[in-house]
Structure 1
């Protein structure tokens, strides 16, 4: 679709936006998809989509490059987004009146506020507000349809605006959920520096593939960052060890050894030790201790620190 200014039906545009929402990595990517669809159904040359920020000014979410090809204001190869714009002019009228409108003589319109130096000529303009829960949150502006805009264009973009808002807020909700999930994942697989040259990873719960991947990345990163000679993996909070968990623990210790770090596995209860032996795990290759304290004391001793118990 990008770069093709041929017509597109409203239904096709809505479906395209809602499907692309699932693959867009950022809000800006989704904004470009929405703007591109709006330009196609109206055969507009360029436009922008933006939101009203907390200061009552305007932040662009997407701004089409075609409008800047002949413009001295901006290098068209560099993505452009403008923030904190004062709301005024033709597009400001859309927000102020919370109503859609179009004009095919924009430069002579009473609300016209002129154009910045180097801005492409404006031959026609169409603006549609974006609403969420009956509150205006932003707008979409389109410009320079060859034969001028008609009422059908206004209706089409108004319909499309509903899909735009739905897609944008769904994307934000999904991104927030992913961030929260990542934060929870990091909290459930912490890797901490407990002493100079010693890091520890207290594991709690079942180690599924996703948690293991996250743990391995953070575990090895912290080993490198701390220049750790020793690393403790504490499985006191792991309820049971199956083949997959045992394999994951072996991979973690092997990877750490390749970085020059000695691993001590702590919290190994008799039942778990028996299970690991039954699964064929060679415990002779892994230093083990029954408790985190014993493992930590071992590491300090190897670092020539004396632990005195009171």
Structure 2
């Protein structure tokens, strides 16, 4: 069995009478991106502060690459790259100088450091802005430099805490592309966000956190199944709709079929639409339908969060 890069067991933390993190457990394997999805104040940042060894937990344990963070923090942190919400850069220094400084703190020197600085500048798309003072950067560019610093020493685990907050759409997309590339290279990534579209795009598994507890965890499909909701497939086209309706209704994945009055459309309630849609299209065309359009509508993580907590994700 693969040794997890990160193993968190029953992590707890209170501030005074308020319990902020209440029994959080997580596992991340090599090359896996796991998201913590929840609203502001859910306990995401406190959780990663304990994982990173910045905050002592009241209970539970954290192991990074098999090393216990509480008993051997220096060894554990060698495997860790942390990109915090707050920018951790020196604004008077250039991107290259920032990276060189932080690289030396990690014990990197000479040609190896220069080569790695060039590599991470390329990863985050800042090669052409390597020499100017970082105080002239846009908010998104500063965020990307923040990520480059976290990547510099080639950590086994990269923690990204709300890395796209307050950035422009172009920089946000650049950040997401960088994260996608990292997991493809075998790095384990823990990604906290309250943007469901980021979690859906990036994460192999997602933990939904609310009031300090992980209330559900799994792939997107597994989480959606918790709501009991199914997908909707709409076919638009011409042909004998009554016969087409009867034909597609016999497909096992199709739960219901409805004809829209006055329109040449069939709307189906389907279990597992991405897997069933090819059979639906083939059956409909075989029954005489000339298709103009096929549309699949699926429940999203916002629906899951609302179902599990009774409130919207951004409440």
TM-score by length of 1: 0.22
Higher relative contact order (CA 8 A, sep 6+): 2
Give the structure with the larger strand fraction.
2
Q: TM-score, normalised by structure 2?
A: 0.22
Report the structure number with the largest CA radius of gyration: 1
